[in-house]
Structure 1
Amino acid sequence: MLIAQLAVILFAAKLAGDAAARLGQPAVLGKLLIGIVLGPSMLGVIENTDWLHELSQIGVILLMFIAGLETDIDQFKRTGKAAFAVGVLGIAVPLLAGYAAGAALGMETGAALFLGLLLSATSVSISVQALKEMGRLQSKEGSAILGAAVIDDVLVVIALAFLLSLTGGDVDLGAVVLKKVVFFTVAVLLAWKAVPLILRWFAPLRVTEAVVSAGLIICFAFAWFAEATGVAAIIGAYIAGLGASFTDYREEVLDKAETIGYALFVPVFFTSIGVAADFSGVWQHWPLIFGWSVLAVLTKLVGAALGAKWAGFSWGSSLAVGAGMVSRGEVALIIAGIGLEAGLLDDELFAIMIIVVLVTTIVTPPLLKTIFSRLQPVRQTA
C-alpha cells in the first residue's frame, strides 16, 4: 500500500505541477490542489496516514535546508531591518484583528486572543518554493521574507506560551523564553564553527556521498534541536543550511540535497497538505470560513507590507513581502492543535480554522506570482 501510494503521489504531483506551470502559475499550486483531489475530500485514493505525515515532515525540513543553502548572506544582512519590521507588524495586525473579530462574535477573551495568535503564525515553506520557481529567493524581498519568518516563529511561540499561562495552561513562560535563547545561541555558534568542521571531517571518508550525508546529518540534527527547544523544525533546518552555505562544500551539498528532496520528499510534502484537508461537515459554516479566510489573508498581507514599507521598500516590493508571509502552513496547524487540547477551540471551530489555514496556503503561490510579475526582474547571485 505504501509503495503504491508513493507512486500515485509522485506521478500526480509532477503532472499537476506541470499543468499549473503551463497555466502561468507556480508548480507548487498544482501539487497542493492535486492533494485535495487525491485525498479523502474527493477521490479518497490517498489516506492521511502517519507515514505520509512523517515523509512530508522530511520534505519540508529538506526544503528549508535548501533555502538556507541558497540564501544570499549579504542580502540577508541588508534586509535585517525589514525582516524585523515585517515580523513584528506581520504579527501585530493579524493578532489585533483576529481578537477583535473573535470578540465581535461573542467569544471569551482568551479564545479571541488565541484566534488572533493563530492568524499571526507564518510558515514560509510554500513561499520558498514559489520564490525558487520565480527566481526570486535571493532577492531583497525573498531575504526579508525568510528573516521575518524566523522572527515570527519566535515571537508567536513566546506569545502562545504567555497566553496559555494566563488561561490556566501548565506553561512556564520563563522556561519557554530560556529555551528560545538557548536554541538560537547554540544553533548560531554551531552553524558558524561546527558545521564547517563536520563537513571537512566527512569529506575524505572512503564511502559514497560522504559530504551530502554530512549535510543531511547536520540538517536533521538542527531540526531536532529546534523542536526539542520549542522552535519550529524548519527554522533549525534553515539555520543549518545557512551554516553549510559558508563552506566550500555548498554547491555539492545543495546539488545532492535538491536531487534527494525534489525527487521524493518535497512533492510528498506539498501533496500531503491537500490530502490532510477534510471538508466533511464544515461547509455548512461557509460564511465563517469565507470571513476568517479573507481576514487571515488581508491582515497578514497588510501587516507585513506595512513593515516592509516602513523599512524603506517600495509599495510593490512591500506587497510582495506581505504576500510571502500569508501562508500559515504547518505552524498554524500545530498551534490550532494546541488550542484544541487546551480548550480554547472547540471541535467545530478547530475544523473551520484548519480550512482557513489551507486557504491561506493555496492562495499564496498565485498571489506571489501576480505581485512579483509587476516588479522589475532581478539578477540572481550565485
Structure 2
Amino acid sequence: MAFLGTLCLILVLTTLAGNFANRLGVPAVIGELVIGILIGPAVLNWVQLNSLVSLFADIGVVVLMFLGGLESNLQLLMKYLRPAIIVATSGVIFPVVVMGAVSWWWGFTPLEALFIGVIFSATSVSISVAVLKEYRALGTREGATILGAAVADDIIGVVLLSLMISLLASQGIETAGSHPALGLVLLEQVAFFGGTYLLVKWVAPYLMHLSERLVMASSVTIMSMVICLGMAWLADIVGLSGAIGAFFAGIAVAHTPYRETLADHVEPLGNAIFIPVFFVSVGLNMTLAHLGDNLWLIIVLTVLACLTKLVGCGLGARISGFDWTSSTVIGTGMIARGEMGLITAQIGHQAGLMGNASYSAMILVIILATVLAPLFLKPTLKRLTVQPTEA
C-alpha cells in the first residue's frame, strides 16, 4: 500500500509542475520530467524506480502512443513513408559515426566507441508525441514523418543491437540473457507488420463491432484496451518497443466508428494516472554518481546527442523535399532518446565494455537529451504553419 502514497505524491507534483510549466509557456511534459529528477535519486531520493513505478510507466507510454495512433492519419503516414525511412536512416548514421568518433578520440577503445554510437542512434518518440499532441501537430506531414521515422528507427535499432551482440560474442565477450539470431528477429518483425495490416483492415473493425453488442459497461473501451495491450505485448516479443505496437493499435481502432468515443474515454484515464508516471520515471533514471569524473564527457556527448539527431534527421528531411522549417521540426522531434538506448547501455555495462562511471555518464546523457528535446521542439513548432490534416 505504500505505493499508493508514492502515486499520490507523483500525481500532485506533476499536476502542479505541469500547471507551472504551462504558465511559463513551456510544454507541460518538461515540468513532469523535472519532477522525476527532483524526487528521484539525483536530488531528494524520495522515490526510486521500483517494479510498481516501472509497471505504471510502461502502461503510461503504451497509452500515450495508443492515443497518438488514434489521432494519426494512416493515409498521411503511408504518403510520407519514404521520407520517414530516409530521416530514420540519416538519423542513425550521424550519431553512430560522430559520437563513435568523438568517444574514440576521448580514449575509449574502438569497440567501446562503436557501442556508444549505437546507444545514441536510438530515438524515443513518445516524448515528442506528447508535445505534438499538446500543440495539435500530430496530423501534419511533419508529425506523420516523425512517427514513421520512429517506427523505422526502432527496427534499425533492433538490427544494430543484434549486430553489436554478435560482435561482442565474436570477441569472446558474454552478454546477459539469451539473444535470438538476427535473421529470426527480422522474420518475426515482418510477421508482426503483416499481422498489423490484418488488424487494421479486418480484425480491429470486427472486434470493435462485436464489443458494441456485448451487454457490459464500457465494452467498447475495454476491447480497445485489449487490442492496445495485446499489440504492445506482441511488439515486445518480436524485439520492438511496446510503444510501437500500441501506436499501430491506435491507428487500427481509429479506422472504426468509435474513434471519438475512445479518445474521450482513454485520454482522461491516461493523463490522470499512467502518463504522468511515465514522464516521472524518465527523471528517476538520473543519478549524479561519478558526475565530477565525467563532467566534460557528459557535456560534450549531450551536445552531440542533440546535434546529431537534429542535423542527421533534419538533413534527411531536407533531402526528402521538406523546407528548412519543417526539416528543423522533424530533426528536433527525433532528439529524445529512450528505452533502446537504455537497454543498449545496460548490455554494454553488463558485458564489461563500460565501467560504473562511464555507464552513469551514458545514462545521464540519455536523460538530459530527453529533457532538452521538448524545449527545442516547441519553438520550432511555433515557426511552423500548421496545415490541416491531409487525406
Superposition TM-score tier, normalisation by shorter sequence? over 0.9
The match for 2:152 is 151
Moved more, 369-378 or 222-231: 369-378
**Backbone CA RMSD of aligned residues:** 1.5
Pairing 1:371–2:372 present: no
Which amino acid is the alignment partner of residue 88 of structure 1? T
Mapped partners of 1:335, 1:61: distance in 2: 21
The match for 2:137 is 136
Moved more, 163-172 or 8-17: 163-172
Matches within 5 A, 1:260-339: 260-339=269-348
Moved more, 141-150 or 108-117: 108-117
Cα distance, 1:101 vs structure 2: 1.4
Contact 1:302 1:322 in 2 (8 A): yes
Contact 1:195 1:243 in 2 (8 A): yes
TM-score with structure 1 setting the length: 0.96
Mapped partners of 2:260, 2:186: distance in 1: 36
The match for 1:9 is 10
Contact 2:140 2:386 in 1 (8 A): no
Moved more, 49-58 or 366-375: 366-375
Cα distance, 1:334 vs structure 2: 1.8
Mapped partners of 2:377, 2:316: distance in 1: 17
Mapped partners of 1:211, 1:283: distance in 2: 53
The match for 1:105 is 106
Number of aligned positions between the proteins: 382
The match for 1:96 is 97
Q: From 254, 258, 277, give the equivalent of 2:267.
A: 258
Could you say what secondary structure the match of 2:274 adopts? Answer: helix
For each residue in 1:71-115, what CA deviation from the matched residue of structure 2 results, as whole angstroms up to 9, or x when unmatched? 022322222221111111011111111221122123232222111
Matches within 5 A, 1:175-186: 175-186=184-195
Identity %: 39
Mapped partners of 1:296, 1:61: distance in 2: 25
The match for 1:348 is 357
Mapped partners of 1:366, 1:166: distance in 2: 37
Cα distance, 1:335 vs structure 2: 1.9
Mapped partners of 1:147, 1:283: distance in 2: 39
The match for 2:33 is 32
Matches within 5 A, 1:143-292: 143-168=144-169, 172-292=181-301
Which amino acid is the alignment partner of residue 120 of structure 1? S
Contact 1:95 1:117 in 2 (8 A): yes
Mapped partners of 1:121, 1:242: distance in 2: 23
Which amino acid is the alignment partner of residue 186 of structure 1? G
Stretches of structure 2 that go unaligned for 5 or more consecutive residues are: none
Stretches of structure 1 that go unaligned for 5 or more consecutive residues are: none
Contact 1:135 1:380 in 2 (8 A): no
Mapped partners of 1:298, 1:46: distance in 2: 32
Mapped partners of 2:290, 2:320: distance in 1: 44
Mapped partners of 2:280, 2:193: distance in 1: 31
Cα distance, 1:171 vs structure 2: 5.0
Mapped partners of 2:386, 2:168: distance in 1: 48
Mapped partners of 2:343, 2:365: distance in 1: 14
Mapped partners of 2:203, 2:79: distance in 1: 25
Which amino acid is the alignment partner of residue 150 of structure 2? A
Could you say what secondary structure the match of 2:19 adopts? Answer: helix
